[in-house]
Structures are given as C-alpha cells and as structure tokens.
C-alpha cells in the first residue's frame, strides 16, 4: 500500500470575512478598499490616549445573518476580549475580538462535491473581531512600511471543526461560503483583495487511529485553488516526515504558490499565551428578541435554499440549479424569467447559454445583464408557441434585443418573422427537388448524407423560418418518393 493511503488527512479552516459596512468596527473611519495608505484613519484607529471605541451595530447584524445562514445558535449576550498577542500593525498593540462569547455558536454548512455527493462541515463558531493593518517589507532597502487603512475593519472569523478530509471538501466549502456572503451582501468575497481570507490547520494521522496528529497552520493563500494546492502540499510533506521517522512540528507555515511549497514562519511553541481578558473599554451588548426578529425578517434565500427552489418548483436538474445559482445576479434573473413563463427548462437553457455567453464576452466585470428577464421569457414563449424556431430566436431576434427595450412581439412584427406552415414548406421542398435532379438521384442511390445539402437549401429559401424537425421529416418523405403531408 502506498504511504498516502495509510494516512488520513484532517483539516480545519479559519475563514476571515471582511464585513461590508460603511465604517470600521469601533470607529467612524471609512471601511473602503483601494484608498491611499493611511487615509482611512483617525485618533481611534491610531490608538491615541484617551480615545474610546464604540461598537458598529451594523457589523453585529451582518454577523448574525451569517450565523442564521449557517444554522448557528445566536448568542444573546456578548462581550469583547483583548487578545494580547503583539500586533505590529495595530497601533494599540492588541486585537479586540470575541473569545468567551462568540456571536454565533456551532452551525453547519452542507457542500456538494464534484461527484454529486454531499458532506456537511460542522462549525465551531463565528465571532466578531477587528482586522489588522498591513505591513509592507522592502527587500532592497530593508525598510518596513505600514498601511493602517485596514486596521479596525470589521471581520467575522468562521472556524470549522477539524472534520474536513480532503482538499476538494475544503475548496467546496470555501466556494459555498463565498456564495453565502455574496447572497447575504455582507462581503464581496474577493480573495485577491483580501476581503475573504483563509488559514488551514492541517494534520495527518494513521488511518483508523483516533488521536489527531500535530497541527500545522498554513497561511498566505489568496485563492480557492491555492487553498486546495496548499493542503495537498502540506499533507504530502507531513507524510514524508513521518515515513522517514521524523516528527511533525506544530508551527505556522506560509504557502508559496509559485513553487508549490510551504515554508516555516514560526513555531507554535514560540508564541506567548494570548492572555484573553474582557475588553474594559467596551460594554457588553445584548441581542434583544425584537432586534433578532428584525434581522431574521430581513434574511434572503441562501444559495442552498435557492438551489432547492429551482429543483422543487421549476423541476430543474441538480446540475442546472447549481449553475444558475452560482451567481446571485443570474439566480435572480432566472426568478424574473420564471414570473412570465412556465417553460422553465427552456428558460434555464437560454440563461446558461446565450445570456451567460453575452456576459462573458463583455470585459467589464460589473456589467449587469443587458437584456430583461421579460424579454427572455417572451422569447421562450414565442418558441414554445410555435411562432418562431430556436434558430431564428438565437441568430436574429436575441441579438436585436440586447441593450434594447423593444418587446419580442414588436420585434417579430417589425421583422415579419414567422414559422412557415407545412404547406409552405412542402412547396419549397418541391422547388429544391426540382432544382437538383442529379443530387436527388444520388440520394435515392444510397448517398443519404446529401440530406444535409437539401436541408440547407430549404432553410435558405425560407430565410431560416422553417421548423427544422418538421422540414427534415417532409424532405425525407419527398426524397423517398412518398406523398407529402
């Protein structure tokens, strides 16, 4: 048996989610990305003597929404703690977080894997805390620069139990978390900009053993794909150590995506105790029943609930529902189309095909869908009613609807587009047969592949308005010298 099959991977994730509030967690400083360094600061962010923090109510509400989406228990009485590990990029020298009373306790997130199977990742907690600033090290000069714009930005940290058993599970979980925060509009989920960050606690143990191996924390992963790569790399590194009879050291390591390696940053034994104690400058806060009910009433469907709706109400496949709900804008667009048609599968095909292709062809990532849900629904209905065929709809009508407010009915009337009747098609087929006597003879002598040429002529002479399926049937009948119907 290969060594990798003798070991079981155990992973727990710590996911940091920056909350999309206007201001920071304990001050009125702007919570915006991309500003000039050290401009989103004030005497509170800079920890001037005599300044006092004040809790951002909106941040608490967003944290509770995430907890509700994850079926967590919402704590009604909370206080903040000081985490006394030295932070060089927090001017006050400590982080304000929640240790004893996290805003959300427990919970779970079901995720679907590539093979269609489902696993449920159990959560330990979701707690509120402030983000640290950003240190920038110049290797050429040896200088270290600091940008405190991010210091004090509100975070929730989602901590899973060590129940993840593969890199695929970890990646699927992160993808689902990103979908959830975007659906709830509590974070943009952008890992490249750091608004969604993930640390992975990774260990291996002999298969069948109960005791967990030494845990290694891996940081510096700026994409979901890199999280998966880092887990695989660290898993293999730990197995190699154990196979050589060496010990795994409990430490923090950084992942290098360029070399697909991890490097030691610091050992856990070198860290001082965090020495949590209640934050004396912040009063405890209580989530009243009325406040809780208001937050709950403002909840929207989660990605999972949206997928279930598409499967149960629209009779779509699990695959189609997954594609349509991966992006909130597309999911809402499908809901809009479904208000004006009952042909849900056909509508889904149009959205997953032409509509998404239209968006992919546009460079601006913030582009909204340049066609209305009503237009797509009317186009689907026109095809289903037999007024036009799908070829005309996709090649002629759909392009003319883009960025226009014209209705489908107005456009069909203007273009004088309609499907030819069976009698009209039969007349055209007779014309084509008369025009190509040699090809007709060859067809009847066994060259059946000529049917494509005849169909092309029929579609050309009807300007694409003939129903392809019906035309093919009538054409074969005529070529086989049977009576036209």
Structure confidence at residue 424 (pLDDT): 62
Q: Are 192 and 54 in contact (CB under 8 A)?
A: no
Question: Could you write out the three-class secondary structure of the chain?
Answer: CCHHHHEEEEEEEEEEEECCCCECCCCCCECCCCCCCCCCCCCCCCCCCCCCCCCCHHHHHHHHHHHHHCCCEECCEECCEEECCCCCCCCCCCEEECCCCCCEECCEEEEECCCCCEEEEEEEEEEEEECCCEEEECCCCCCEEEECCCCCCEEEEEEECCCECCHHHHHHHHHHHHHHHHHHCCCCCCCCCCCEEEEEEEEEEECCCCCCCCCEEEECCCCHHHHHHHHHHHHHHHHHHHHCCCCCCCEEEEEECCCCEEEEEEEHHHCCCCCCEECCCCCCEECCHHHHHHHHHCCCCCHHHHHHHHHHHHCCCHHHHHHHHCCHHHHHHHHHHHCCCCCHHHHHHHHHHHHHHHHHCCCCCCCCCCCCHHHHHHHHHHHHCCCCCHHHHHHHHHHHHCCCCCCHHHHHHHHCCCCCCHHHHHHHHHHHHHHCHHHHHHHHCCCHHHHHHHHHHHHHHCCCCCCHHHHHHHHHHHHCCCCCC
Structure confidence at residue 3 (pLDDT): 63
Q: Write out the two tokens for 4.
A: 């990798």
Q: Residue 19 and residue 31: Cα distance in Å, rounded?
A: 9
Structure confidence at residue 353 (pLDDT): 94
Residue 305, CA atoms < 13 Å, CB-side half-sphere: 12
Structure confidence at residue 423 (pLDDT): 58
Q: What is the pTM of this model?
A: 0.84
Structure confidence at residue 297 (pLDDT): 97
Structure confidence at residue 485 (pLDDT): 38
Q: Residue 267 and residue 326: Cα distance in Å, rounded?
A: 39
Structure confidence at residue 484 (pLDDT): 39
Q: What is the domain partition of the chain in residue ranges? A: 3-290, 301-415, 422-479
Block residue for tokens 């074969």: 476
Structure confidence at residue 431 (pLDDT): 82
Domain 422-479 of CATH type 3.40.50.720: no
Structure confidence at residue 1 (pLDDT): 46
Residue 166, CA atoms < 13 Å, CB-side half-sphere: 9
Residue 382, CA atoms < 13 Å, CB-side half-sphere: 26
Structure confidence at residue 416 (pLDDT): 66
Q: Which string of b and e fits 400-432 if b means at least 16 CB within 10 Å?
A: ebeeeeeebeebbeeeebebbebeebbebbeeb
Q: Which residues of the chain have pLDDT under 70?
A: 1-4, 268-273, 363-367, 416-424, 465, 481-485
Residue-wise pLDDT for 359-414, tens only, equals 888 765 566 899 999 999 999 999 888 778 788 888 888 999 998 888 998 888 87
């Amino acid at each position: 048996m290969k060594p990798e099959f003798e070991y079981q991977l155990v992973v727990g994730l710590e996911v940091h989610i920056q909350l999309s509030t206007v201001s920071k967690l304990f001050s009125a400083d702007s919570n915006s990305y991309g500003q000039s360094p050290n401009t989103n600061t004030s005497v509170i962010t800079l920890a001037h003597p005599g300044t006092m923090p004040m809790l951002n109510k909106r941040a608490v509400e967003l944290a509770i929404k995430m907890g509700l989406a994850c079926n967590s228990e919402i704590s009604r009485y909370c206080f903040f703690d000081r985490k006394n590990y030295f932070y060089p990029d927090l001017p006050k020298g400590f982080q304000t977080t929640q240790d004893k009373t996290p805003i959300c306790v427990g919970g779970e997130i079901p995720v679907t894997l590539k093979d269609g199977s489902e696993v449920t990742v159990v959560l330990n907690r979701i707690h509120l805390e402030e983000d640290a600033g950003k240190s920038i090290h110049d290797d050429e000069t040896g200088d270290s620069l600091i940008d405190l714009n991010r210091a004090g930005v509100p975070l929730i940290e989602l901590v899973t139990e060590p129940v993840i058993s593969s890199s695929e599970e970890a990646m699927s979980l992160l993808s689902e978390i990103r979908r959830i925060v975007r659906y709830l509009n509590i974070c943009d989920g952008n890992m490249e900009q750091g608004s969604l960050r993930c640390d992975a606690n990774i260990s291996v143990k002999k298969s069948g053993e109960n005791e967990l191996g030494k845990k290694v924390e891996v940081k510096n992963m700026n994409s979901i794909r890199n999280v998966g790569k880092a887990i695989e790399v660290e898993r293999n590194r730990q197995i190699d150590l154990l196979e050589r009879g060496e010990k795994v050291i409990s430490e923090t390591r950084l992942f290098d995506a360029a070399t697909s390696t991890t490097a030691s940053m610091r050992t856990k034994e070198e860290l001082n105790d965090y020495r949590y104690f209640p934050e004396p400058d912040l009063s405890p806060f209580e989530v009243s029943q009325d406040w809780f009910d208001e937050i709950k009433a403002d909840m929207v469907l989660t990605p999972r609930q949206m997928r279930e709706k598409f499967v149960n109400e629209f009779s779509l496949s699990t695959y189609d529902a997954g594609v349509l709900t991966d992006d909130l804008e597309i999911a809402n667009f499908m809901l809009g189309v479904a208000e004006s048609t009952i042909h849900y599968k056909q509508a889904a095909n149009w959205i997953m095909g032409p509509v998404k292709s239209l968006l992919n062809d546009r460079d601006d990532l913030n582009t909204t869908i340049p066609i209305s849900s009503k237009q797509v629904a009317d186009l689907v209905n026109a095809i289903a009613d037999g007024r036009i065929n799908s070829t005309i709809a996709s090649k002629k009508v759909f392009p003319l609807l883009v960025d226009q407010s014209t209705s489908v009915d107005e456009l069909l009337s203007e273009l004088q587009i309609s499907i030819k009747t069976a009698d009209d098609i039969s007349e055209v087929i007779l014309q084509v047969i008369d025009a190509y006597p040699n090809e007709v003879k060859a067809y009847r002598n066994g060259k059946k592949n000529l049917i494509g040429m005849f169909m092309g002529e029929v579609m050309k002479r009807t300007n694409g308005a003939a129903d392809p399926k019906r035309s093919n049937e009538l054409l074969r009948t005529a070529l086989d010298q049977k009576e036209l119907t």
